[in-house]
Structure 1
Amino acid sequence: MSDHTLSPTLAQDCADAMWQDDLAAQHLGMQLLEVETGKACMRMRITPHMLNGHGTCHGGYIFTLADTCFAFACNTYNQRTVAQHCSITYLEPAFENDELTAYAREISKQGRSGLYDVVIRNQNGKHIAEFRGHARTIKGTLLPTTQS
């Protein structure tokens, strides 16, 4: 049994462990606003280098925000979890200086598989994208464990 199993802060402890090594999220200026079991919320400001030839945010940056939020939500159980399949539907464009907020929530978790939805909205509440991620646990933990 993990020494973190009964900890009310397990989700936050896992997020803290992941965050220190998530150089991509840090480089893009993402902020982890909230995390709890099976849920996460992140924010990212759209900067000029994130714009495509149409003057809107490149979809890859929006996907990266959603995928990162998904990762923090599905790694709240101290079991290493990775994406098995992800898809995104873009609903509205995002523009320079928009503050995008991603809200991830667990839909289902059974055995080694999980299903998560992520909604992305801008600072005005405009619905920018919908992301669905299929998660799969792998060997290992985020936090040190001890055997009882």
Structure 2
Amino acid sequence: MTDGAPTGPDLTHVRRMWADDRASRGLGMQALTIEPDHAVVSMAVTEAMVNGHDIAHGGFIFTLADSTFALVCNSGGRLTVAAGADITFVTSARLGDVLVAEGRTRAAYGRSGLTDVTVTRESDGAVVAEFRGRSRSLRG
């Protein structure tokens, strides 16, 4: 270390993973923060994401949380995949709402980890969903 900058995990792997993530990009997601054990991703609810109740389809909210989860659990530099996830929907989102997902590592042990992601509505900070992901780092 020659410039006094803090050291930590190399985020090259996770940044490359995000750049290659065509699914997240296709839904208009933007990674606002990528750092060790923490990520923030935003997504606007588009007309294609609204269901028959005229609210955001839960699958799109789950996908936003899952993409954030992927950034968090891969931020340690090891190739990590989902082993499972649960989501609780708290309130609805509507066409035009911007959703913000913030994820943090809750626990990591060996090759396993837990990541919590909170999805909020940008306009008023209302919690839209709470997501818990379980991850597993691959060997190698």
Letter in 2 for 1:67: D
Once the two structures are superposed, the pairs formed by residues 25-44 of structure 1 within 5 Å of their partners are 25-44=24-43
Q: Which residue of 2 aligns with 1:106?
A: 105
When the two structures are superposed, what TM-score results if normalisation uses the length of structure 2?
Answer: 0.91
Matched-pair identity in %: 42
Distance 1:68 1:20 in 2: 12
- Structure 1 runs (4+) deviating above 6 angstroms are none
1:57-91: per-residue Cα shift (whole Å, max 9, x none)? 00000000000000000001111100101000000
Q: What is the number of equivalent residue pairs in this alignment?
A: 134
Indicate the RMSD between aligned Cα atoms, in angstroms: 1.4
Structure 2: give runs of 5+ residues left out of the alignment: 1-5
Query: What per-residue deviation string (whole Å, max 9, x for no partner) do you get for residues 3-60 of structure 1?
Result: xxx954623x233211121000000000000011111100000000000000000000
**Which runs of no fewer than 5 residues in structure 1 stay unpaired?**
1-5, 141-148
Question: Do the aligned partners of residues 9 and 77 (structure 1) sit closer, same or farther apart at CA in structure 2, a change above 3 Å counting?
Answer: closer
Partner deviation per Cα, 1:98-132 (whole Å, 9 max, x = no partner): 00000000010110000010000001101100000
Matches of 1:128 and 1:76, distance apart in 2:
25
The structure whose RCO (Cα within 8 Å, separation 6+) is larger is 1
> What TM-score does the superposition give when structure 1 sets the normalisation length?
0.86
Distance in 1 separating the partners of 2:139 and 2:24: 23
Residue type of the alignment partner of 2:132: R
Q: Which moved more, 1:17-26 or 1:60-69?
A: 17-26
